[in-house]
Amino acid sequence: MPLVAALIGPRARPATGPPQGAFRAFRLGLTTGAVYFAGTLYWITAVMRLHGGLSLPVSVLVNAALIAYLALYPAVFAIVVDSIAGRLGASAALLSPFAWVATEFGRSTLLTGFPWVLLGYSQATFLPIAQIASLVGVHGLSLLVAAVNGALVYGVVTRGRLRISVVALAVATAVAIALWGRWRIAEGSLARSGVPIRIGLAQGDIPQDEKWDQSRAQWIFRTYLDLTREAASRGARFIIWPESATPFFFEEDPVGNEMIRRLAVETRAFLLVGSDQVERGTPPRYYNAAFLVGPAGRTVAVYRKIHLVPFGEYVPLQHLFFFASRLVQAVSDFSAGDSIVMLPVEGHPATTAICYEVVYPDLVRQSVLAGSQLLTTITNDAWYGHSSAPYQHFEQASLRAIEQGRYLARSANTGISGIVDPYGRVTERSRLFERTALVGEARFLTIRTVYARIGDVAAWFSVLVVLAALLATWRAGPRLDRERTSRR
């Protein structure tokens, strides 16, 4: 981590004299955060401009506001590390991983949280290392990555035999975890356990600017009907449509509603249909929802999205975004659901997460603790075009399968749709902007991983370590300063 090296390295902290100050640390952390989030969330500008009705300058301004907010967390991290380094010197590099995870955990929870592109996701496709998520979750995976980097920094900025031991221990730990992960994947008992089910994923590939075009509604609906029949003809018993797939409100359109129910009877399959829901009242309340229709043609469960997308489904602190009034008017004012709902599929409980809900590890964990034996997620990533966002989203969703020891089925309007096994292996996967019906096997599983049982212990432990380190170094600070003075 270059940031840690800059904070505690010889140039940043001379052998004599006080540390250069919290302001410098804040500036370094803020700059690092700005570069990090601008490079990973650049696509938000295009989303605001193309689908939010904003001009390019205002879109950039809105995106910059989000990036500036997110960059505050690396800035806080830098201040914490600088404070500890002021008393402990290079040893602060070994505590920096806990500070990083503590601030990431804060970003994941404060103000409803925004746990996008956490450090641990960098290992999502390196499956041997990613298996540790089954023990400690994505925050524990972040801790591992940060710990290896912290040890390397310690080895660079110090001298003596201890640095060799520290670096060797970090490398040995990473190798041991990778070897254990390879063994876990090869052992593969979860892929042979439980009750199998054939799942169909309907990827309609409907352009975002056509989704609510009434002249295209019949064609859109027919597309999903045809894809469902195709999936059923290939043996799918549980067929999943993407988020907001229907060009109408499922409960408000009697013709479309009846056709979906007849389709379930015809195919003898469970259909999970993403569609908006309205609750009549004064004023009416709108929900982003998923409806499970059983083979008998009846609605057997309805899930309402709990975690809404800021600036997509609601605008937080609307009075602060006066310069983006067109966005405020364009964004649907959805209400949040208040509970996880079990979806009974062939006698087994499943659950779904709508859109970016799937990047909340604890929300998915709560569904498993409530009894879910199969994870699904439905989304509409058409907003993001050909950017990196759909790939980021898919990889983050895939890590939930490892964390919970569950199969995960993902249906996305324009992709990426797929089925992921409990080891993070993608068994079925679509391409972006492809109209297709994917069919593959998943399994209902009941075994719980260590992470499912203990939750984000790694994150909470990191918070406690940081608080203890700050308290200890602040108390020891005057004594250490006197010792330096006496040595001089």
Angle, vertex CA 179, rays to CA 150 and CA 158, nearest 5:
20
Question: Strands 299-304, 285-293: parallel, antiparallel or unpaired by DSSP?
Answer: antiparallel
The amino acid present at 336, given as its one-letter code, is A
Bridge partner list, 285:
279
List CB contacts of 270: < 8 A, sequence separation 6 or more: 237, 238, 239, 264, 292, 293, 294, 295, 345, 346
Q: Supply 100's token pair.
A: 């990083």
Distance CA(234)–CA(437), nearest Å, equals 10
Distance CA(414)–CA(433), nearest Å, equals 5
Question: Strands 436-444, 195-203: parallel, antiparallel or unpaired by DSSP?
Answer: antiparallel
Q: Supply 227's token pair.
A: 């894809």
Distance CA(19)–CA(90), nearest Å, equals 12
Known catalytic residue at 305: yes
The amino acid present at 288, given as its one-letter code, is N
420 class by beta-carbon count within 10 Å (0-12 exposed, 13-18 middle, 19+ buried): buried
Q: Which of 305, 313, 357, 403 is catalytic?
A: 305
Q: Which of 104, 355, 357, 395 is catalytic?
A: 355
Known catalytic residue at 355: yes
Distance CA(131)–CA(189), nearest Å, equals 14
Distance CA(297)–CA(90), nearest Å, equals 66
Distance CA(252)–CA(259), nearest Å, equals 13
In eight-state DSSP terms, residue 203 is E
Q: Which of 104, 211, 243, 395 is catalytic?
A: 243
Known catalytic residue at 243: yes
- The catalytic residues are 243, 305, 355
